[in-house]
Structure 1
């Protein structure tokens, strides 16, 4: 709860003033039955028309003041609730942005979406409900009990006899509800995960004609959510008749004993009517308290889930030396080994030692699963080495702040991720303040300009989600351009030209050698043509560097490298 208080602080005025307005509404509600009692017992009994009119006017004033109190409470509680939820949602999103890949994998994307949206909304609804009902219900109940005791302590025993039954019902609902709501949120996680995977892979699903399979998978997840929701709603639906039964039995007993007291002269007709209204207020307030507490029970589950995100420490701790920046681009791997979190068996990388001088181009070759991408992911700290250390300019990467470290590294990922917006907006991810001339020049170096400038709106062309209106090669060239926009000291190209034709790839490499000659470049590739001109070529196998050298050196001594060259370029090329 202390964490929640932090998000409430900016809205404390609204949080305090809203219950004050609710107390005004409660006070007016408690006055109404007593005023009506006076109309019957004094005005009607004595045929005093002026008194009846005066009391009626007073009741109207109370009603208007009560409405003002209710509206004021609604306004301020809503303002506090929405503001609080906005800040909480932003904090959760910001925390997720700071997560490492391992943290995201641990929670799963669908669950993080649910926690950021639905769970925060549940907390918001419960908070708003608390400001209203957890103020209204207790005070209305206490005020009602005091009022019935003032009217007839003897008849009040009927009300007090009903309270234990309602309390037992409330406790049962809370215990049962916590389990059911927890299950319901987990099922909602699953629905969001299936939905997110389906939308992300919609083209693959259609290409493999797997729509029926995905429909069945979603139908099962949706059915599980419906079943768990129905169990929770069924429990709530049982509550309404039970509460109604308790209320009706209480009212019957009240009229039975109250009627006898009226005939005996110990109660007036006006008092029995007021007593009836107060009993209704007491029982309704207890009922509303029970349902508010059920909402709180569900919100408690949601808060636990949101708090799990907020309390999770990123596996990648930010460095503290804000003055450290990448100045030269020298990279050293010193006895580096790496295993993915929770992975059993052999490490993905084992005893990697390597030094790359500023301005060198290093290519990495190897079979799928040999550890190529994992190795370069350690440079910008997408993961941290399990043992050993990665150094840039002689300093352990863990000492840099993440912003300074990643700000000096350009990265074109294996997956070509572009965002909804224009081409220019996507390129400006690398440099928000870049001039039009710089954008055009960098796009030309990445061989993106030739196709962009043929488009009707050129750099103002809107991209669909993930750049769906571009070809694979076009997306790769834009991703390379985006990485170059940062003017990085280190550039990482992770299989970033696999969809680009050989002629275009040669032009990109030529630009890297001439225009960006002082940049340290890491190239992960499958094609020999992509790496032949590199200063160093690393050949990886089972998480180790089994050989290293230039193309000419490796064709002479590395059987693995020669086999790759032979398979792609023929045996003559493999002989050098």
Structure 2
């Protein structure tokens, strides 16, 4: 886990290494200062001259200034290293997610990924910052102070040998109790964020059904659940502070009591006043360093689960990769399904597609019809290799899709998915997702073909109109037409519309299909639809049922041979209803 996280330090290795070095110098200077003060006190007790006091005073000022300079420098390099590490880690996670296949994304919820890239990374960043600074400063301060304390106080410093193991045992018990709770809390964070995301996305539905109170109660329950677990964990972690305070003050009382007794009883022969003051300072430094270490342990305990969640994302390998010597050119738009069966995961008990044998010629207009759950979308998602087949193979341009470079294949197979989205930006910005180098004329042509130019021209800023995130300021039909235009700009060899005209009227739907026939005759066009009218004029219509191809043929052929197609047509066609009544 540490090796994987350490890869994200990269260009920030220098400040990450420099920070501990600066901290070491700072600690050494801080540990020398009490020694100089002790000598100064002893000299003053012996009646030294003013020159000696001034000399010691200058030494102390120089030491203090140098300690401050190295401390500030360590703070700057630590901030640079930790924030840079967090930036790289966030970037690495995002890039990894971009490479995921649909199968990989199905393993994580969107809210979980967002939590991992925000809250979890902040936790790991804080731990990293403490590790390269506080976790170095604490042990070094304790070791140097321990050595100096023994050198100046002898047996009086033995109190530290008792205090340190007690604190260590206490910390171990606290961490052991708190870690499982934090692990549970972060899972509940995912569920809480999932609830928020779902509510915001479905705000119109929530308001239309007047379910605000229900959603508030659901959120409150989830929030209180997180609060209870966090409170329980924080209560356990809070035991750390009083335990530290007790050891600090117990140590101080011991040193003061026995140290003062030693000074008075020995008349300064065994331990002098200066040594006594130094031992007090060193004891305070030791116990403060222990408190620093306890803070580090607390932060690491909280971030361990976060680190594991981040590494889980970074270790996830995409189930779809381009082969070596991959093909970079798709010959034509022909498509072949050779005895294809598919299921979404290895653990799935049933196949989503079974024994699909289908051959589509380049340039054909194919319609796909079927009831909900008949795996229409699943079928077409295998063509651009959004998923890999479980059995058999899918060919595009006469070659197995697994032989192509993924980018090359998907650039030649454009898919307008059932739930396409628009991104915040202008209409031009959204259209150029299809082709970053598209000219204004090419965008205009694509939009005319998709029947989008008409409504775009009615906007005051036309193609420079700003689209809100998710396309919330345009209608469903307008969004679908813009998405179709975006796909057309890729000039693909295969164009797949997955129920992408469901929100447009029948006239516009017919005009889009007519444009396809006239202006992109060589492109293979596959249209998934719920309306028979949307596929009625297709070269061939595929009827899906239960993950299998039930029938294939033209409209007239299917009316004679397919009971499913005939029933769908009759239920949607008024004339058919009247005929049925007669």
Q: TM-score range by the shorter chain?
A: over 0.9
- Tell me the equivalent position of 2:98: 97
Q: Is the 8 A contact 2:413 2:494 kept in 1?
A: yes
Change (3 A) 1:124 1:442: same
Alpha-carbon distance in structure 1 between the residues aligned to 2:43 and 2:132 = 38
Instruction: Say whether 1:74 aligns with 2:78.
Output: no
SS for the counterpart of 1:332 is strand
Instruction: Say whether 1:300 aligns with 2:304.
Output: yes
Alpha-carbon distance in structure 1 between the residues aligned to 2:408 and 2:87 = 29
- Tell me the equivalent position of 1:514: 518
Please state how far the C-alpha of 1:421 moved relative to its aligned partner. 1.0
Instruction: Say whether 1:564 aligns with 2:530.
Output: no
Q: Is the 8 A contact 2:27 2:141 kept in 1?
A: yes
- Tell me the equivalent position of 2:464: 460
Of 546, 551, 565, the match for 1:547: 551
Instruction: Say whether 1:381 aligns with 2:382.
Output: no
**CA RMSD, 1 decimal:** 1.7
Change (3 A) 1:343 1:214: farther
Aligned counterparts, 1:278-427, within 5 A: 278-341=282-345, 344-427=348-431
Aligned counterparts, 1:50-61, within 5 A: 50-61=51-62
Q: For residues 223-267 of structure 1, what are the alpha-carbon distances to aligned partners after superposition, in whole Å with 9 as ceiling and x for unaligned?
A: 122122212221222111111011111111111111111011221
Alpha-carbon distance in structure 1 between the residues aligned to 2:205 and 2:107 = 25
- Tell me the equivalent position of 2:166: 165
Alpha-carbon distance in structure 1 between the residues aligned to 2:368 and 2:327 = 32
Q: Is the 8 A contact 1:562 1:574 kept in 2?
A: no
Please state how far the C-alpha of 1:383 moved relative to its aligned partner. 1.7
- Tell me the equivalent position of 1:248: 249
Alpha-carbon distance in structure 2 between the residues aligned to 1:239 and 1:11 = 33
- Tell me the equivalent position of 2:491: 487
Please state how far the C-alpha of 1:168 moved relative to its aligned partner. 0.8
- Tell me the equivalent position of 2:142: 141
Q: Which moved more, 1:432-441 or 1:110-119?
A: 110-119
Q: Is the 8 A contact 1:565 1:573 kept in 2?
A: no
Alpha-carbon distance in structure 1 between the residues aligned to 2:57 and 2:183 = 50
Change (3 A) 1:155 1:50: same
Q: Is the 8 A contact 1:129 1:292 kept in 2?
A: yes
- Tell me the equivalent position of 1:202: 203
Please state how far the C-alpha of 1:278 moved relative to its aligned partner. 0.1
Please state how far the C-alpha of 1:170 moved relative to its aligned partner. 2.0
Q: For residues 311-364 of structure 1, what are the alpha-carbon distances to aligned partners after superposition, in whole Å with 9 as ceiling and x for unaligned?
A: 112222333333332220111111111222266443221100000010001100
Q: Is the 8 A contact 2:571 2:577 kept in 1?
A: no
- Tell me the equivalent position of 1:429: 433
- Tell me the equivalent position of 2:212: 211
Alpha-carbon distance in structure 2 between the residues aligned to 1:112 and 1:320 = 30
Please state how far the C-alpha of 1:293 moved relative to its aligned partner. 2.0
Please state how far the C-alpha of 1:414 moved relative to its aligned partner. 0.7
Please state how far the C-alpha of 1:180 moved relative to its aligned partner. 2.5
SS for the counterpart of 1:107 is coil
Q: Is the 8 A contact 1:43 1:49 kept in 2?
A: no
Please state how far the C-alpha of 1:30 moved relative to its aligned partner. 0.6
Of 502, 507, 526, the match for 1:498: 502
Alpha-carbon distance in structure 1 between the residues aligned to 2:541 and 2:326 = 34
Instruction: Say whether 1:442 aligns with 2:446.
Output: yes
Instruction: Say whether 1:153 aligns with 2:157.
Output: no
Q: Which moved more, 1:310-319 or 1:219-228?
A: 310-319
Q: Is the 8 A contact 2:22 2:70 kept in 1?
A: yes
TM-score (norm 2): 0.96
TM-score (norm 1): 0.97
- Tell me the equivalent position of 1:25: 26
Instruction: Say whether 1:531 aligns with 2:532.
Output: no
- Tell me the equivalent position of 1:10: 11
Please state how far the C-alpha of 1:308 moved relative to its aligned partner. 0.9
- Tell me the equivalent position of 1:475: 479
Please state how far the C-alpha of 1:59 moved relative to its aligned partner. 1.5
Q: Which moved more, 1:545-554 or 1:181-190?
A: 181-190
Q: Is the 8 A contact 2:569 2:576 kept in 1?
A: no
SS for the counterpart of 2:229 is helix
- Tell me the equivalent position of 1:182: 183
| Alignment: residue pair count | 576
SS for the counterpart of 2:418 is coil
Alpha-carbon distance in structure 2 between the residues aligned to 1:159 and 1:465 = 60
Structure 2: give runs of 5+ residues left out of the alignment.
Answer: none
Q: Is the 8 A contact 1:410 1:491 kept in 2?
A: yes
Alpha-carbon distance in structure 2 between the residues aligned to 1:514 and 1:452 = 22
Q: For residues 31-86 of structure 1, what are the alpha-carbon distances to aligned partners after superposition, in whole Å with 9 as ceiling and x for unaligned?
A: 22112212221135415333223322221221111111111111111111111211
Alpha-carbon distance in structure 1 between the residues aligned to 2:433 and 2:309 = 32
